[in-house]
Amino acid sequence: MLDKIDINVIIKVAYDAGNAILDIYEQDFDVVEKEDNSPLTLADKASNNVIISALKRLYPNIPFISEEEKATAYDERKSWEYFWLIDPLDGTKEFIKKNGEFTVNIALVRNKVSVLGVIYVPVTDEIYFAIEGQGAFKVDSGGGKSKLQVKGHSKESLKIVASRSHLSKEVEEYIEEKRNHYDKVDCVSAGSSLKFCLVAEGIADVYPRLGPTMEWDTAAGQIIVEEAGGMVLDNGEKLQYNKEVLRNPFFIVKSFEAI
């Protein structure tokens, strides 16, 4: 199945969804709260409609899970070999703040493992993508394509990227603990799945996510980091998908094992 997916087609779907988001981003818009108290805008819905309609047309035999769709019952989906895992607008809080740090995330999962991922950054018009066994890449706004590679091991300095809107006490403690082991520890903040991208690009060494996330928040970023040479681990094990409860455990995204 994976060899039948055209990554350029999925990139185009993400691009179209991003344009639908930007149409709303440039206007005044209303914000409502979902049942879990997280924010929802018309842009989330517009992006979701673009992605779901396109994937249903292009790959009608592959089911999907999206943040903005009611999830299929576990008894049915637990037998899925392949499925799309979608966050139509990752970083809604950043979208509302209008700081540009939001993304469109589309991943393909095979047997609980992310094997294809596309992350589109609408405001900067940048695409990150990866396919299992084929490497990870970035395409900039001018169309320039570069291969992604995580940063090498350094014993002297460490750059940590953390969530801009969800900095937990546990992450603060993690940062302080690292200050005891490195001569220099720098911290940067970013929204949405951009934190995965910063590790994959070699801009940051580690992204500790010691707080709640959902499967659609991480699947695209995970395969991009892994194909760039990094890892996404929960207590030493790779994050897995299509669990009965779609919430992720705490995890660490890192560029080398020693972190």
Which DSSP symbol is given to 150? P
Write down the pLDDT at residue 60.
98
Task: Quickly name the fold that domain 2-147 has.
Answer: Fructose-1,6-Bisphosphatase; Chain A, domain 1 (3.30.540)
User: What is the pTM for the complete model shown?
Assistant: 0.95
Write down the pLDDT at residue 77.
98
- Going by C-alpha positions, the residue among 189, 172, 179, 174 that lies closest to residue 157 is 179
Is 90 exceeded by the pLDDT of residue 194? yes
Alpha helix (H) ranges present in 31-122? 42-58, 74-77, 92-97
**Mean residue pLDDT across the chain:** 95
Is CATH 3.40.190.80 correct for 157-254?
yes
Question: Per mean pLDDT, which range of 72-86, 103-117, 160-174 is the poorest?
Answer: 160-174
Is 90 exceeded by the pLDDT of residue 147? yes
Write down the pLDDT at residue 164.
82
What percentage of the chain carries pLDDT values higher than 90?
A: 87
* Residue range(s) of every CATH 3.40.190.80 domain in the chain: 157-254
Is 90 exceeded by the pLDDT of residue 165? no
* Residue range(s) of every CATH 3.30.540.10 domain in the chain: 2-147
- Going by C-alpha positions, the residue among 164, 196, 197, 171 that lies closest to residue 185 is 171
| DSSP helix/strand/coil, 217 | helix
Question: Per mean pLDDT, which range of 137-146, 150-159, 185-194, 243-252 is the poorest?
Answer: 150-159
